[in-house]
DNA sequence: TATGAATGAGTCTTCATTCAT
DNA sequence: GATGAATGAAGACTCATTCAT
């Protein structure tokens, strides 16, 4: 393979950029949102503060990229599951939710960055790709049950709420005396999925049983 | 009633303290976490910044008290429900969860203060009274089902995760195109409660029915 | 004379304020507009930069005060001349113009600050008191000549232009090989005053003479 | 015509230089002095900031050239008028002064650059060509009146002061409620010219008339 | 009890300039 | 001839905090 000068330069630049982003991410991990500043970032990356502005127009832009990357990473994982044709949709949903939580636990700071910290109130709200993937998973699970789109959306949001709840709590309150995290997560996800299948259906079956 | 000088002084001091706290809370409500500073607080309360330090050792301490108060407020509400003897424990749990979510929506900034912003990683974690109340509600709902304490704790945490999830999302992402918030909350809470009752039981009853 | 605590404090504060202003003025004198910054000012006054903000809300405000003071000082001088009743208005005008130029030469930096540097484009333009004084002087000089208000305003502005021209040039180009400054100023002022009296009148008298 | 390599190179270099200067001027015109920086210039000209330093040693040098060019442009215009032989010198002077003012109004930023911003206190003052032209015009107007050189110089400077006054005021204070600019300029120029002809002469003629 | 004065450390950001490539 | 990368210095400004009074 041959690489010309321009491509090499581009490569180098990209490397620097992602080096900075990585360092930024690390700072979030270590010191949280408040510990992050362009100065600390510069210090940590071994550059002068001014140099950061060669790669990012502003702190906000840098931050946006960070968020974007985090979302994209999560999305890529979810997408894979969505694409698995011929699988049991219920199992797919379950795997998707588990993946969501696991991703959050594995990348606690990305999760904070993406879902907890700062709503970019300036921009018009933009439902994110990752959420679209979740929506798709729920729809697949509900396929053939005659659920209305609104109802489907409702259940998607409910499922999201549940997994977000457990992810953010485990992430933000690592000191809390949690019972087995694994079992807890399973429990939450199972409840959520049962919620997706729908109360009415269950109630109906229960009622018909009693008779 | 007679009050000696020292007591009176104490009384006065307490009044000032709570005046400051009230103002601080108001600032959070109005301007969010970023809009809050000792300066803005001082201005709003009519004192000089220096004076605040006569009542609170530091911003952190002040903040801690604020959080404590928020928890206490939530706790008092939950407590009332716990105390209602002779009621259906299931209904009590449901009311408790609803109250939790409603409290969060009514006091979004308190909720942020209490549950989202800043993990007090420095201090040894202190399970909070409000959580104790939730625990009690779950225990009551599970009374007589032969659930082990660990299992009970697990379900408490799962319930908390669910309601925290929906509360924090609704609170932090007001711009998101939510479907009917009321129905969404109901859905989440119903799923959570069904989770408390337990999957196995349901499955069992379903199975026995089919036969 | 007795001075209570508050008054004394006020006094002190005022002293600090004017100390800062004085230093600011000095910096302008020494280093010009570009050499002026809150940092350099702080250094020169022996404070930390932050301290300046105890006395002035912003650099702009500080600057505005500086300009205001300069104008006020000039105004006070012009006012005196305007008030001199019973004098020859022509002489008053002449003295006023001279005073204007002299003031500019004596306070070159105030003059720059007041008339040359930075038009506060944000604020709606505010004709200044000092200009009002000049206007009055011209009006007095033209009293009884049946000059219309517009014409009077025109001549005021023309006179201002002339004295501003000589003042700003002498001020900004001290190195230029000026002929005798005194004679130059006299010349400019004389021309300007002859301009106020009006071309037509002169022409008329000249014409009538030729006949 | 034949051009060797070196000459061609030189030619190229010159073209680049003037391209940069042109862009710099445009920035001044559009964004004023404060909007100008080597960065903005580089961006506008499509080079990197570093490249500018291949053509100009520093920002200051670039700026100096800019000023020089402005002066030269004004000079060329004035020169034309000076050269017009056989015309009424008085009319020539008048046209020269008008041209000066008009040039300033048409090129407010050039005028600022050339006459207002930055006194080059560092360099030994260099009487400028443009001023020489003005001087010549005045001398022509005074030819045959037996005016001494010093007196002639004095009047030149006085005339300059007047036109500079009106030009800089109109240029820097566009918001001021000026009466008709045209009439104002005429008035100032007429006064200035009458000043050139000289008070004494007028007075003399007036006196002789009265007799 | 209260505060005016003060500050060191920090916030984001821009600038003119250099230099190895 | 051109530039990407880098920077030291500076820009205005805010913050939590202290301390003498």
The nucleotide lying nearest A46 (C-alpha to C1') is F6
Q: Give the largest CA-CA distance in chain C.
A: 79
Q: Residues of B with CB below 8 A from A147's CB?
A: none
Cross-chain residue pair A166–B169, CB shorter than 8 Å? no
Q: Of the ranges B53-62, C38-47, D80-89, which one carries the lowest mean pLDDT score?
A: D80-89
Query: Strand F closer than 7 Å to the CB of D32?
Result: no
CA distance to partner chain A, nearest, from residue B20 (Å): 24
Structure tokens at C79: 């006012």
Mean pLDDT of chain B: 84
- CB pair distance less than 8 Å for C194 and D192: no
Q: Kindly determine whether residue A187 and residue B154, on different chains, have CB atoms separated by under 8 Å.
A: yes
* Cα distance between residue C20 and residue C28, in whole Å: 12
pLDDT in tens, C193-210: 999 886 545 444 444 554
> What is residue D210's predicted lDDT score, i.e. its pLDDT?
46
Residue D52: nearest nucleotide (C-alpha to C1'): F2
Contact list, B202 vs chain A (CB under 8 Å): 194, 202
Neighbours of C90 (CB within 10 A): 15
Average pLDDT, chain D: 84
- Please indicate whether, in this complex, the C-beta atoms of D125 and C180 are within 8 angstroms of each other: no
Residue C171 structure tokens: 């001020």
Contact flag for D and C (3+ C-beta pairs < 8 Å): yes
User: Does any strand F atom come closer than 7 Å to the Cβ of A48?
Assistant: yes
Q: What is the pLDDT of residue D111?
A: 86
B100-140: per-residue pLDDT in tens?
999 999 988 888 877 876 554 445 455 677 788 888 899 88
Q: CA of C16, closest CA in chain D: separation in Å?
A: 31
* Residue B8 pLDDT: 67
User: Residue B3's pLDDT is what?
Assistant: 55
* Structural tokens at position D207: 């006196």
Which candidate from D172, D191, D206 shows the least CB-CB separation from C191?
A: D191
Say whether pLDDT at C130 is over 90.
Answer: no
Q: Give the residue from A33, A173, A184 showing the smallest Cα distance to B125.
A: A173
Q: How far is the CA of D45 from the C1' of F2 (A)?
A: 13
Neighbours of chain D (3+ CB pairs under 8 A): C
3-state secondary structure of A31: helix
Q: pLDDT at residue B163 above 90?
A: yes
**pLDDT given for residue A198 in this prediction:** 67
pLDDT tens track for C68-109: 888 888 899 889 998 988 888 889 999 999 999 999 999 887
Residue in chain B nearest A188 by alpha carbon? B158
pLDDT at A174: 84
**B154 contacts A180? CB cut-off 8 A:** yes
Q: What is the pLDDT of residue B203?
A: 46
Q: How confident is the model at residue D108 (pLDDT cuts 50, 70, 90)?
A: confident
Q: Which residues of chain A have pLDDT under 70?
A: 1-9, 117-127, 198-211
Structure tokens at D22: 């042109």
pLDDT greater than 60 at residue D208: no
Neighbours of chain C (3+ CB pairs under 8 A): D
> Could you say which of C174, C179, C190 has the minimum Cβ distance to residue D157?
C179
The pLDDT mean for chain C works out to 84
DSSP structure string for D84-132: -TTS-HHHHHHHHHHHHHHHHHHSHHHHIIIIIS----SSPP---HHHH
Among the partner residues B175, B179, B192, nearest to A157 by beta-carbon distance: B179
Interface mutation vs chain C, best among D121, D158, D190, most C CBs within 10 Å:
D158
DSSP, residue by residue, C150-181: HHHHHHHHHHHHHHHHHHHHHHH-TTS--S-H
Tell me: pLDDT of C179 over 80: yes
Most confident of B114-118, B162-166, C142-146, D29-33: B162-166
Contacts of B159 (CB under 8 A, 6+ apart): B93, B97, B134, B138, B192, B193, B195, B196
In this structure, is the dihedral angle defined by the CA atoms of residues B25, B30, B34 and B38, taken in order, positive or negative? negative
pLDDT at C107: 86
Give the mean model confidence (pLDDT) for residues B1-26: 77
Predicted confidence (pLDDT) per residue in D177-192, tens digit: 999 999 999 999 999 9
Residue C48 CA, chain-centre distance (Å), reads 32
pLDDT of residue B174: 85
Cβ-based neighbours of D167, under 8 Å, separated by 6 or more:
D100, D101, D104, D105, D111, D115
Mean pLDDT on D66-77: 88
Average pLDDT, integer, range D26-45 = 87
pLDDT at D174 (0 to 100):
85
**Site from C161, C184, C198, C204 to mutate, D interface, most D CB atoms within 10 angstroms:** C161
Considering only alpha carbons, which residue of chain D is nearest residue C35? D118
Considering only CB atoms, which chain A residues are within 8 Å of B132? none
pTM of the model: 0.83
Where is mean pLDDT largest: B119-128, C120-129, D51-60? D51-60
Neighbours of A206 (CB within 10 A): 13
Percent of chain D with pLDDT over 70: 84
Contact across the interface for D191 and C162, Cβ inside 8 Å: yes
Percent of chain B with pLDDT over 90: 45
CB < 7 A to strand F: residues 25-64, chain C? 36-40, 49-50, 53, 58-60
């Amino acid at each position: 393979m041959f690489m010309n000068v321009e491509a090499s330069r581009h490569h180098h630049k990209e490397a620097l950029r992602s080096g900075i982003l990585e360092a930024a991410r690390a700072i979030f991990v270590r010191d949280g949102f408040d510990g992050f500043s362009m100065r600390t970032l510069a210090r940590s990356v071994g550059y002068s503060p001014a140099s950061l502005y060669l790669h990012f127009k502003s702190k906000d832009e840098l931050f946006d990229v960070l968020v974007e990357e985090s979302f994209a990473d999560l999305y890529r994982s979810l997408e894979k599951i969505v694409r698995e044709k011929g699988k049991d949709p219920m199992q797919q949903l379950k795997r998707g939710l588990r993946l969501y939580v696991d991703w959050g636990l594995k990348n606690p700071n990305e999760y904070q960055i993406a879902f907890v910290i700062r709503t970019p109130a300036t921009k018009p709200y933009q439902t994110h790709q990752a959420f679209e993937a979740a929506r798709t998973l729920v729809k697949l699970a509900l396929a053939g049950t005659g659920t209305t789109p609104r109802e489907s959306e409702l259940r998607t949001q409910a499922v999201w709420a549940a997994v977000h709840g457990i992810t953010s709590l485990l992430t933000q309150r690592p000191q809390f005396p949690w019972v087995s995290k694994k079992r807890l997560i399973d429990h939450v996800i199972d409840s959520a999925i049962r919620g997706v299948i729908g109360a009415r259906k269950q109630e109906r079956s229960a009622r018909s049983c009693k008779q």
